[in-house]
Amino acid sequence: MASIFEAFDSTMKEAFAGVKVLLWGIPFAYAVNSHSALGNIVGIIAAFLLFGFMVTLAHGVITKKPTVVPGINFIDFCVNGGMGLVAVLPYLVLTWIIIYFTNMFIMIPDHPIYTDTARIVCYLLAFSFPVTALAIFIRRRNMLEAFNLKKFNLGYGEVFLSYSYLFVKLAIVSFLVGGFLVYIFYLFIGFQNPFWHYLMCSLGVFYVIISGNYIAQISDEVYTFPEKEEEKKREDEKIAKLIDEQK
């Protein structure tokens, strides 16, 4: 099973990985603190590049590259981000539709906890659609493969269980580790401080990087064996065809 600890260890043990996280946090912090149109543009561009960065990282994990966290290569980030966005965009639309109708129809009167629980489960089911498509795409960076229903059906259940598990673990870790920092900032600095915004943006970047590594692990577990079996089957068919031709 995919491990969040392995994702953290293999990602953050690399030299300058922490520095890269802090650098990525700068444009997002600027976008949050600027309250301007330019800030919004910077935030959108940074989010797109970060998505490309995550796809590049995940593909590197799949292909067993020696360096997991990629360096600064904006061309790769743009290409991978653009292709990845095309691969997951229809699933994101489907996710938005599911969430919209979930909020509209799932309502348990006098039981807000049950309502929230049911909605969270539906949200996780919905978000598993684009994550599954991404898990397929990062293997060969082939946009069309993300729409392969056979592969999608093979991986959806595993993605839902594993990614839900990641979501819960990150929530628990954030509560335990970040609770003290939140309390300190609340008492002495306040949540409107730009430095607080920068820390939260850097933390968000860190979660994105860990998620990319985690998705790559899920993809490896779900698809590596079937792909090897399919490749072996094709080789056997070629050999059988050659033997038939020689007869």
Does 1 score more than 70 pLDDT? no
What average pLDDT does range 149-177 have in this prediction? 83
**C-alpha span between 191 and 169 (Å, rounded):** 24
Q: What is the pTM of this model?
A: 0.84
Q: Which pLDDT score, from 0 to 100, does residue 8 have?
A: 75
Angle among Cα 47, 134, 28 to the nearest 5 degrees reads 10
Using alpha carbons only, give the angle 70, 213, 22 rounded to the nearest 5 degrees.
55
- Structural domain for 157, as ranges: 4-246
**Average pLDDT estimate for 162-185:** 76
d(CA 113, CA 116): 5
SS (H, E, C) 83-95: HHHHHHHHHHHHH
| pLDDT confidence of residue 177 | 67
Overall domain count for the chain: 1
Answer yes or no: is pLDDT of 26 > 80.
yes
